[in-house]
Amino acid sequence: MNILILGCGSIGSRHAKNLKDLGHNIVVCDKDEMRIKHFGKQNKCNYYYDYLDAIKNENLDGAVIATPSNFHTKPAVDLATCGINIFMEKPLSTSLNDIGRLDEIIKKNKLVFMMGQSYRFHEGLLCLKKLIDQKIVGDIYNVEMLGGWYLPDWHFKEDYRKMYAARSELGGGVLLTSLSHAIDTTRWLFGEVIDFNGWKSKVSNLDIDVDDFVTCTIITEQRVIVNIIDDFLCRLPRNEIRLYGSDGFIVTEFNKNKIHYWHVNNKRFFPNDQNIDPNYNYTKVLEDGIRYDPKMDTECFKFDINKRYYDEMIFFIDKVENNAIEFSPNLSDGMRVLEILTSDKIKMI
């Protein structure tokens, strides 16, 4: 297939290389003349400074939109008008302006439109979803999601102040950059969001003009309460999920490729007067005069940092080849996530 990559920054370059490795022809476009010229020559592919020229001169089967978020909608409308299938990086945009028009064109031309939500292809989250679907800890009541990364360390070879994540005019900030992952993951794992409230703030001394801290509480149609915290402040990167259910709990340890879970049937009981080894790391819980140690089971998974991006390109190409327009994550998913992110229920403080 002949696929246009619009935007050759970090994620655009990754998608381009993965598509090339999959045997597809890539055409690249970026307004940064030095970057696009270097990338085009290095990868021996046609390159353009203006995507309209690429549309005019190339017979395109699809396009990957990997520009900053505020430059998503216009090229998407132009591409869809020309009958070109679209893969768009999250979030859908920075506002809902013109999204309805894009939706109409996609439906009229019966095009494939896929949201780039790489967490749906993450080995750890797929393992977690399997445990949830198996009801390994019964019905899920409450979930805690913790995410964070110190922004200057994100792409440490770059000046963080120039990154899109640090600049409001490019659609940066924790809310749009990171929380879009958490919202989509919540909907994917626990059902549609039926109510939510949240706060965002600029609390650090980072030289940015966007929010660097967000917290949000969500209720889903499955009556699961999800509490989310994400930021640009964590010196020690974190990506943790804790789930509390009717029959136990699950704790992810994504940095070690492990997910731990405990079921009520795995209680190991100890009378209070028993001589317990003080060096043993018991979790001491008092219940009817009995202490118990929750014996954890562990699921291990293999992790490759590029695999989820590689797999979502395989997924997108398969949908284009088969003209399969009914799937998720699609434009409707992107719209729902954006509705939540831009709602006045998430207040700036």
Longest pairwise C-alpha distance within the chain: 82
pLDDT band at residue 263 under the 50/70/90 scheme: confident
Is residue 316 within a helix (H) or strand (E), and if so which, with residue range?
helix 307-321
Residue 68 CA to its chain's centroid (Å): 15
Tens digits of per-residue pLDDT, 39-62?
A: 999 999 999 999 999 999 999 999
Q: Mean pLDDT, to the nearest integer, of 137-144?
A: 97
Are the CB atoms for 1 and 24 separated by under 8 Å?
yes
Q: What are residue 64's DSSP bridge partners?
A: 5, 87
Q: What pLDDT score was predicted for residue 123?
A: 97
d(CA 340, CA 105): 23
What are the start-end ranges of the H helices in 22-122?
Answer: 33-42, 51-57, 73-81, 99-108
d(CA 186, CA 261): 19
d(CA 115, CA 81): 18
Decide which of 250 and 276 is more confident: 250
User: Domains plus CATH for the chain?
Assistant: 2-117+307-328 (3.40.50.720), 120-304+342-348 (3.30.360.10)
d(CA 249, CA 260): 8
DSSP 121-186: G-HHHHHHHHHHHTTTTSSEEEEEEEEE--HHHHTTTS-GGGSGGG-GGGT-SHIIIIIHHHHHHH
Tens digits of per-residue pLDDT, 68-99?
A: 999 999 999 999 999 999 999 999 999 999 99
Q: Which of 109, 97, 19, 51 is nearest to 313 (CA)?
A: 19
Q: What are residue 294's DSSP bridge partners?
A: 267
Q: Which of 43, 107, 10 is nearest to 335 (CA)?
A: 107
pLDDT band at residue 256 under the 50/70/90 scheme: very high
Angle between helices 73-81 and 99-108 (to 10 degrees): 20
| Torsion on CA atoms 298, 299, 304, 310, rounded to nearest 10 | -150
Tens digits of per-residue pLDDT, 18-34?
A: 999 999 999 999 999 99
d(CA 162, CA 165): 8
Q: What pLDDT score was predicted for residue 156?
A: 84
- CA angle centred on 99, ends 5 and 164, rounded to 5°: 50
In this predicted structure, the answer to whether residue 236 has a pLDDT above a threshold of 60 is: yes
Tens digits of per-residue pLDDT, 280-321?
A: 444 444 444 445 556 788 999 999 999 999 999 999 999 999
pLDDT band at residue 277 under the 50/70/90 scheme: low
Tens digits of per-residue pLDDT, 166-180?
A: 999 988 999 999 999
- The CA–CA distances, whole Å, from 284 to 248, 290, 294 equal 16, 9, 9
